[in-house]
Structure 1
Amino acid sequence: MNMWWLLPAAAVVALFLTGALRRYALARSLIDIPNARSSHVVPTPRGGGVAIVVSFLLALMWTASLGFVAWPLTWALLGAGVGIAVLGFLDDHGHISARWRLLGHFIAATWALFWIGGLPPLTLFGFALDLGWIGHALAAVYLVWLLNLYNFMDGIDGIASVEAICVCLSGALLYWLAGNELAALLPLLLAFAVAGFLYWNFPRARIFMGDAGSGFLGITLGVLSLQAAWTAPQLLWSWLILLGVFIVDATWTLLRRLFRGDKVYEAHRSHAYQFASRQFGKHLPVTLTVAAINLCWLLPIALVVGSGKLDGLSGVCLAYLPLVVLAVKFKAGEKEA
């Protein structure tokens, strides 16, 4: 059975559901009001990322029921994704303390790792490296950090959506070039679901993703990257390269604020992309630049690493170096004047 019709279907479901969620948010006064720590200036509804969650998970269950996606991966994505989305949805509607959110994040990460088999053996300079339980613990921290940094990086119009689309399309291309077209289905489904939401979120955004959507994207991309490593060990390095813009900006910013003694769990506007959006006076140039970096710089390196022609760690260092330079140039982690 041809399953590729699910791609436009996921986009259409997300498109119309986002519109419905916007009306719901307006009716319930779920509005982001601009403040001193915001990167937007117009009150905007939030919570539209639920449309991504629903459209992707419906497509996931459909493909799994027909045997196109393995059930262990399905349970990993379904359980972790629903858990994080519900936690984010509740936080969007009220407030959940940081400690309880973090506990929920680790429970979701542990659930996902249980079903996909944890961290697979890695390739490092041509050698296989099995870290055992240490590797599984590191994988849990990786998933939790990725879902949180995705939340941190969802601060200007369209940036989180564009990042997810670029990463997923690039990941699908890696599978296709490796001759594994069926494995490309899930990242493509996620990309199309996000594209339906992006219609409403593209600058100037008419609705924001909210914690439910950003957290869901973070942990889903993390699980897909670990699953890719079970397919071919070097593909984990490729996915880390593709996620480089968000990983470098968020990690560099966190470390600078941590060393300065800031309360890292408090909201702020000191990411590189936030400084850049204020410098340019609008969000669109920054969002489009992120897409250009993903497709013109990170994707070619990821493809070379995925083909086995470049060691994964070397590829990550090569890919991240200019991103660190950009983070420094745009003052990531510095105090605002």
Structure 2
Amino acid sequence: MVVFLFFGAAFLAALFLTGGMRRYALAAELMDIPNARSSHDVPTPRGGGLAVVAVTLVGLPASTLLVPFSFSSLAALWIGGAAVAAIGWLDDRQDLPARWRLLVHLLAGAWVVAWAGGAPALPLPGLEWDWGVLGSVVLVLFIGWVLNLYNFMDGIDGIAGVEALTVAGTAAVLLGWLGAPGWASVSGLIAAASLGFLLWNWPPAKIFMGDAGSGFLGFALAALAVLTWAEAGLTFWAWLILLGAFIVDASLTLARRMLRGERFYEAHRSHAYQHAARQFGSHQPVTVAVGVINLLWLAPLAWAAAAWPEWGLVVMLTAWAPILIICLYFRAGLRE
């Protein structure tokens, strides 16, 4: 009962803080102005994701009062997340060079992997691969990629909030099932805070998340993937499945744009979800579809990967295959 009261308090705090951020953004003229690459038509306040950042950073130490939690895990999430949110907030205000943002992102990823003790052995059919230093490098790059793709995928109303709510919420259930109540409470905290923001960001959005919020959520989910694999046994495959909707769309889009020689870091409107939103004439059907896919397709398969980790690669490819087909159908990475 106390845990659910904690989640409820996180939800309400994020809900009211997002409203406060909207008032501040309007007063400070911190607006997202539509341009040729935007998916919205009217100037909209941005920076609402800071409410999720604040609630999560305050809630992390508070959660240790409910369930015992290691200092190292708390430090990995808190310091790394605060650094990513800070560089995102600066970028929201003055457009920092991409190289400085990327440096902070990779350092935050390395910080998490170091606290996790490196890369755990990767379960494969018939063996567990101890991939050592290579695995650590891959996990740092994984955190950096998920962090940035979350920003890329935050391009229509509600989609980033729905992704965080459903992925973190499902992870909380899986971690509880695995007997890791501390990690379940952290995942539940992120889900509750994301829901508070989502009510303001639901189509038509009254405020946007901003780089600070999207970067923080991408980092938090990727860091959870690494830390809960190392400490709670929630296999890496399960996390790759849970994040599949975002990973497949962003990765396919990036690959196609790079093959055309385009600058991958420049803003564009060629993700599958953006093509789909224009085709349907609305953001809401696409945002709802992402939530449905996450809960009805990816969540059960993530449980299967957690239950039989040696078959996780096979389950992951099964989970990703129809998403890849959908992304190809909606012309991910192709110009309008």
Name the TM tier (shorter chain).
over 0.9
**Contact conserved, 1:64 with 1:74, CA < 8 A, in 2?**
no
CA distance in 1, matches of 2:232, 2:70: 16
Q: How far, CA to CA, are the matches of 1:233 and 1:311 in structure 2? A: 15
Do 1:32 and 1:46's aligned partners in 2 also have CA atoms closer than 8 Å?
yes
Counterparts of 1:302 and 1:162 in 2: how far apart (Å)?
17
**Secondary structure, in 3 states, of the residue corresponding to 2:123?**
strand
Question: Aligned letter for 1:316?
Answer: M
- Point out where structure 1 has 5 or more consecutive residues left out of the alignment: none
Asked if structure 1 preserves the Cα contact closer than 8 Å seen for 2:17 and 2:51, the reply is yes
Q: Aligned letter for 1:335? A: R
1:134 corresponds to? 134
Q: Which runs of 5+ in 2 are unaligned?
A: none
Provide the secondary structure at the position in 2 that maps to 1:311. helix
1:85 and 1:183 map into 2 onto residues whose CA distance is 21
Residue aligned with 2:128, SS: strand
CA distance in 1, matches of 2:257, 2:248: 14
* C-alpha separation in 2, matches of 1:88 and 1:65: 30
* Aligned counterpart, 2:146: 146
Per-residue CA deviation, residues 243-286 of structure 1 (Å, 9 max, x unaligned), is 00000000000000001111111100000000000000010000
| Aligned-residue offset at 1:145 | 0.2
Paired letter, 1:154: D
Q: 1:67, CA displacement in angstroms?
A: 5.7
Secondary structure in 2 matching 1:128: strand
Provide the secondary structure at the position in 1 that maps to 2:176.
helix
Taking the aligned partners of 2:204 and 2:68, their CA distance within structure 1 comes to 37
Contact preservation (8 Å) 2:12, 2:196: yes
Go from structure 1 to structure 2 and tell me whether the alpha carbon gap of 1:126 and 1:165 turns closer, same or farther (over 3 Å shift). Answer: farther
Question: Structure 1 residue 208 and structure 2 residue 189: aligned?
Answer: no
1:10 counterpart residue number: 10
Q: Secondary structure at the match of 2:301?
A: helix
What are the within-5 Å matches in structure 2 for residues 170-209 of structure 1?
170-209=170-209
Cα deviation digits, residues 280-331 of structure 1 (max 9, x gap):
0010000000011111111111111111177010011000111110110000
1:14 CA drift (Å): 0.7
SS at match of 2:268: coil
Q: Is the 8 A contact 1:121 1:233 kept in 2?
A: no
What residue identity is the alignment partner of 1:192? Answer: A
Name the CA distance, whole Å, in 1 between partners of 2:273 and 2:36. 16
Could you tell me which amino acid in structure 2 is paired with residue 303 of structure 1? W
Secondary structure of 1:5 counterpart: helix
Deviations 1:68-100 (A, max 9, x none): 221111000111100000000000011100111
Seen in structure 2, the aligned counterparts of structure 1 residues 172 and 199 have a Cα distance that, compared at 3 Å, is same
Matches within 5 A, 1:150-161: 150-161=150-161
What CA distance in whole angstroms lies between the structure 2 residues aligned with 1:258 and 1:290? 25
The one-letter amino acid of 1:228's match is T
Separation in structure 2 between the aligned mates of residue 88 and residue 232 of structure 1, nearest angstrom: 30
Q: State how many pairs are aligned.
A: 336
Q: How much has 1:182 moved relative to structure 2?
A: 3.7
User: Secondary structure of the equivalent of 1:123?
Assistant: strand
> 1:64, 1:119 → 2: CA distance?
25
Query: What residue in structure 1 maps to residue 292 of structure 2?
Result: 292
Aligned counterparts, 1:35-114, within 5 A? 35-64=35-64, 68-114=68-114
C-alpha distance in 2 between matches for 1:55 and 1:309: 33
The one-letter code matched in structure 2 to 1:144 is G
Partners in 1 of 2:68 and 2:234 — Cα distance?
A: 23
Partner of 1:20: 20
**Which whole-Å CA distance do the structure 1 matches of 2:309 and 2:93 have between them?**
48
SS in 1 for 2:68: coil
TM-score normalised by structure 1 residue count: 0.96
Give the drift of 1:180.
3.2
Give the share of equivalent positions with the same residue, in percent: 49
What is the TM-score normalised by the length of structure 2?
0.97
Shift of 1:65: 5.8
Q: Shift in Å at residue 66 of structure 1?
A: 6.3
Instruction: Look up the equivalent residue of 1:23 and give its one-letter code.
Output: R
- Deviation per residue, 1:108-134 (Å, 9 max, x gap): 111222222232111011411111111
1:122–1:233 CA contact under 8 A, matched in 2: no
Map of 1:302 onto structure 2: 302
Q: 1:177 offset after TM fit, Å?
A: 2.4
Query: Once structures 1 and 2 are overlaid, which stretch shifts more, 175-184 or 110-119?
Result: 175-184
Look up the match of 1:270. Answer: 270
The alpha-carbon distance between structure 1 residues 63 and 229, as it changes in their structure 2 partners (threshold 3 A), is same
Deviates more, 1:56-65 or 1:98-107: 56-65
User: Residues of 2 paired with 1:181 and 1:67: CA distance?
Assistant: 7
Report the Cα distance in structure 2 between the residues aligned to 1:183 and 1:96, rounded to whole angstroms: 33
- In 2, Cα distance between the equivalents of 1:48 and 1:126? 47
Counterparts in 2 of 1:44 and 1:242: CA distance versus 1, 3 Å = same
Let me know the Cα RMSD of the aligned residues: 1.5
Question: Distance in 2 between the 1:310 and 1:124 partners?
Answer: 5
Give the counterpart letter for 1:211 in structure 2: D
Relative to structure 1, the CA distance from residue 182 to residue 107 in structure 2 (aligned partners, 3 Å threshold; closer, same or farther) is closer
Aligned partners of 1:185 and 1:262: how far apart in 2?
A: 42
